[in-house]
Amino acid sequence: MIEVVVDDLAFVRADAVLRPADDHLEPVQGAAARLDAQAGPRFAALRRVQNPLVVGAAVVTGGGDLSAPLVVHAVIQSREENVSADTVRRALTSAWQRAAQFQLMSIATPLVGVGAGQLFPEDAARILRDTWEDPTRRAEFPAALTVVVERERDRDEILPVLSPRRA
């Protein structure tokens, strides 16, 4: 099930929040930067990495001071590789795999890969839907996805794209 809400990602109740990041787990979107500010200094310590991560990877850390106890970091870019439909698709696929490993029932996420010079909201929503509905994904974990947007206009724009595909 996918739902879309207008809210602040840091305060949405879920088992985990999905956070778009670069290969050093630095935020790559405004929503991720605001999330970091709310999560506090303990979260900053939790997301430190020794070596750069591979674009397309996903890792799980504690959520610091967030409502959600865990954060799934989806690595969508590096210094050598910019955000693209492919990097977002790979990172989301990895994120769903990590969520299944942790048996997370619910995930809250912004539209991954949206921002200046990145993907259009409709394209990001389509990739999100397609990876979520991929038949190879274990549908029981996670079972619920909440897409968090900032404005009603954003919600209205992506709702038709996130509707389930018809066979």
In DSSP notation, 94-155 reads HHHHHHHHTT--EEEE--TTBSTTSB-HHHHHHHHHHHHT-TTS-TTSS-EEEEEESSHHHH
Asked whether the beta carbons of 22 and 73 are under 8 A apart, the reply is no
In DSSP notation, 18-71 reads EEEEETTS-B-SHHHHHHHHHHHHHHHHHT--SSPPPTT-EEEEE-TTSSSSEE
**pLDDT for 53-78, tens place per residue?**
999 999 999 999 999 999 999 999 99
Report DSSP state, residue 163.
Answer: S
Between 33 and 102, whose confidence is greater?
A: 102
Is pLDDT at 138 greater than 80 in this prediction? no
**pLDDT for 80-130, tens place per residue?**
999 999 999 999 999 999 999 999 999 999 999 998 678 999 999 999 999
The angle formed by the CA atoms of residues 113, 24 and 30, to the nearest 5 degrees, is 40
Closest CA to 18 of 32, 4, 37: 32
pTM here? 0.93
**Residue 165: per-residue pLDDT:** 65
Q: Where are the domains of the chain?
A: 2-162
Q: Selecting from 3.20.20.70, 3.40.50.300, 3.40.220.10, 3.40.1350.10, what CATH number does the domain 2-162 have?
A: 3.40.220.10
> What does the block give as tokens for 148?
């968090």
